[in-house]
């Protein structure tokens, strides 16, 4: 898989529950590289933009209100296959259906409080990174471990 970037956010429930380091650790241990990170409280309008694909869903308003209810850790992670594999690390949308071993499977119980967001494909990754980060907020660097992670 080619080198790619994905947008990952720890939602207000994940921040409040004190699992941000646990989540970062899982991406880091896998071998993915953190290239952007910040903490912010998104406005409702901003949350609406982030979730615009779900505008017609009955839970849209509640979802946007929730995302803007407290601090969010916004991140960009880089690596081969990170978009698809990031979703694997996160687990199914409904934590009742997420496998044990996944972030939602291990750390969450209900769909409206599933603690983390991850881009679902190359297009959304591109759009979400552009929405949350200015280009100069993302860093390009070589990790010392890279030669031990990639052939
Ligand atoms: P994901 O976050 O796994 O990409 P999604 O994009 O379909 O899932 O939905 C975005 C978020 O909306 C999801 O993380 C939690 C919330 N959500 C999804 N389906 C829901 C439902 N049936 N009831 C309440 N909230 C829901
Ligand atoms: Mg989604």
* 84 known ligand binder: no
* 59 known ligand binder: yes
pLDDT of residue 126 exceeding 70: yes
Ligand nearest to the Cα of 9, by number: 1
pLDDT of residue 72 exceeding 90: yes
Rounded to the nearest angstrom, the distance between the alpha carbon of 149 and the centre of ligand 1 is 32
Q: What confidence tens digit (pLDDT) does each residue in 127-150 have?
A: 999 999 999 999 999 999 999 999
**DSSP, res 151:** -
* Residues with active-site annotation: 117
* Global model pTM greater than 0.90: yes
pLDDT at site 2: 73
Ligand nearest to the Cα of 67, by number: 1
Give first-to-last CA distance, the chain, whole Å. 12
Q: How confident is the model at residue 89 (pLDDT cuts 50, 70, 90)?
A: very high
Q: Which two tokens stand for residue 87?
A: 């979703």
Rounded to the nearest angstrom, the distance between the alpha carbon of 60 and the centre of ligand 1 is 9
pLDDT of residue 1 exceeding 70: no
- Asked if residue 39 lies in contact with residue 71, where contact means CB atoms within 8 angstroms, the answer is yes
Per DSSP, what are the bridge partners of residue 102?
A: 100
pLDDT at site 50: 98
Separation of alpha carbons 40 and 65, rounded Å: 15
């Amino acid at each position: 898989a080619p080198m790619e970037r994905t947008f990952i956010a720890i939602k207000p429930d994940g921040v409040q529950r004190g699992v941000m380091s646990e989540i970062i650790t899982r991406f880091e241990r896998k071998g993915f590289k953190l290239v952007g990170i910040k903490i912010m409280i998104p406005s409702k309008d901003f949350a609406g933009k982030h979730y615009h694909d779900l505008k017609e869903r009955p839970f849209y308003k509640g979802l946007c209100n929730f995302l803007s209810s407290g601090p969010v850790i916004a991140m960009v992670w880089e690596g081969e296959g990170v978009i698809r594999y990031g979703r694997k690390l996160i687990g199914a949308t409904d934590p009742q259906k997420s496998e044990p071993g996944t972030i939602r499977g291990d750390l969450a119980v209900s769909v409206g409080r599933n603690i983390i967001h991850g881009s679902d494909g190359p297009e959304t990754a591109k759009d979400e990174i552009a929405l949350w980060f200015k280009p100069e907020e993302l860093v390009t660097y070589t990790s010392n471990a890279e030669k031990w992670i990639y052939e």
